[in-house]
């Protein structure tokens, strides 16, 4: 059975050069290098100044269109962290039937292994960024075509079993060893879901099973160690890959607080971002574990030892391991 990240089409370096050079001759002669491959896109750096993303799966096509409509508006806000800004709109061809896009290069590197002190130094820049992002007018985002959360990222009726299955896979493959903290987290969430569904009044209003009650916000939707960039001091400076952007529960983004920041950093973050209720924190922590387990299994499948180690670090933080 194919994994979630299995590509339907992969644009090779030579093919990417043909598509870019054919549609954007002003960029010739091209200097092009592979920057990375994700679940949804193959990414190339072009002429040192631009990044081109080519969808790998049909599901990513509409995501690309949405982010290209929204990102110019975010870029004009001069947010505390850099964001991708689309400047080239590639058209489908007979050979490659999907659109693709070129963005201004966002300087920085993937964080990899980062010390606790380095992580803490990112707390306040991240808080300032998410406070501004989550304050973006939701109605304006919707007019730009940004959807709501159509896939239930925080729908525990779906995601709990999915994450539990992935935890079992991680243990079976020797990538993780202890379920104790994970079992405590899902027991807490499961109990809250039952209470919110039986009319007791003790659960989360609206039901924890669908994300609970929350103030709708514009959210990135996929914040994790593969979509943040750091500078030479290992401080977060950029946020990339906006394909999952939507309007919904801010807990989807606050997951990064639990997968990247140690407890001291979380205190600094919420002091600047603003306090959130315990249910939102727990949903964010769950989302952090859910996403990180996918990254852990993906890194193992791709034999990417650096990603496996970084994902294990994130999982320890999200599960409150020392």
pLDDT band at 97 (very low <50, low <70, confident <90, very high): very high
> Does the structure show a pLDDT above 50 at 203?
no
Lowest mean pLDDT among 117-121, 143-147, 194-198, 300-304: 194-198
Q: What is the DSSP string of 166-223?
A: HHHHHHHTTS----HHHHHHHHHHHHHHHHHHTT-S-S-TT-GGGT-S---EEE-S--
Q: What is the mean pLDDT of residues 185-212?
A: 57
Neighbour tally for 306: CB within 10 Å: 11
> Does the structure show a pLDDT above 70 at 200?
no
pLDDT band at 213 (very low <50, low <70, confident <90, very high): low
- Domains belonging to the chain, first-starting first, are 13-104 (3.30.200.20), 116-318 (3.90.1200.10)
200 vs 179: CA distance, rounded Å: 30
Q: What is the mean pLDDT of residues 211-230?
A: 90
- Could you read off the pLDDT of 295-319 as tens digits, one per residue? 999 999 999 999 999 999 999 999 9
Percent of the chain with pLDDT over 90: 83
Percent of the chain with pLDDT over 70: 92
Write the burial class of residue 68 (CB in 10 Å: 0-12 exposed, 13-18 middle, 19+ buried).
Answer: buried
Give the residue, 134 or 194, on which the prediction is more confident.
Answer: 134
Kindly provide the b/e burial profile for residues 88-114, where b requires at least 16 CB atoms within 10 angstroms of the residue's own CB: bebeeeeebebbbbbbbbbebeebeeb
| Torsion (CA) 17, 21, 24, 28 in degrees, nearest 10 | 110
Distances (CA, A) of 308 to 96, 175, 299, 312: 32, 8, 5, 6
- Could you read off the pLDDT of 7-62 as tens digits, one per residue? 899 999 999 999 999 999 999 999 999 998 888 899 999 999 999 999 999 989 99
Count CA atoms closer than 13 A to 57's CA, side-chain side. 14
pLDDT number for residue 295: 96
């Amino acid at each position: 059975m194919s994994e979630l990240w299995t590509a339907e089409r992969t644009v090779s370096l030579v093919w990417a050069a043909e598509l870019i050079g054919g549609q954007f001759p002003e960029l010739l002669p091209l200097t092009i290098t592979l920057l990375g491959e994700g679940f949804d896109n193959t990414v190339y750096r072009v002429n040192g100044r631009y990044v081109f993303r080519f969808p790998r799966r049909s599901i990513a096509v509409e995501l690309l269109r949405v982010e290209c409509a929204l990102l110019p508006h975010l870029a004009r806000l001069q947010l505390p962290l850099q964001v991708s800004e689309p400047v080239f709109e590639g058209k489908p061809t007979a050979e490659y039937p999907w659109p693709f896009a070129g963005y201004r290069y966002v300087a920085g590197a993937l964080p990899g292994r980062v010390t606790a002190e380095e992580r803490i130094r990112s707390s306040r820049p991240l808080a300032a960024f998410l406070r501004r992002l989550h304050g973006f007018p939701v109605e304006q985002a919707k007019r730009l075509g940004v959807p709501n959360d159509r896939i239930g990222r925080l729908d525990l009726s779906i995601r709990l079993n999915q994450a539990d299955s992935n935890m079992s896979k991680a243990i079976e493959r020797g990538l993780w060893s202890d379920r104790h903290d994970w079992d405590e987290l899902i027991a807490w969430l499961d109990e809250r879901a039952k209470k919110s569904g039986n009319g007791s009044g003790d659960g989360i209003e609206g039901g924890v099973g669908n994300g609970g009650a929350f103030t709708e916000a514009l959210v990135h939707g996929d914040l994790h160690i593969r979509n943040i960039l750091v500078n030479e001091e290992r401080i977060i400076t950029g946020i990339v890959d906006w394909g999952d952007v939507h309007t919904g529960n801010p807990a989807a983004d606050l997951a990064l607080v639990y997968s990247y920041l140690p407890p001291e950093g979380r205190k600094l973050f919420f002091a600047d971002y603003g306090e959130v209720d315990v249910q939102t924190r727990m949903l964010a922590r769950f989302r952090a574990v859910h996403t990180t387990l996918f990254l852990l299994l993906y890194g193992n499948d791709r034999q990417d030892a650096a990603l496996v180690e970084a994902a294990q670090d994130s999982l320890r933080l999200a599960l409150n391991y020392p």
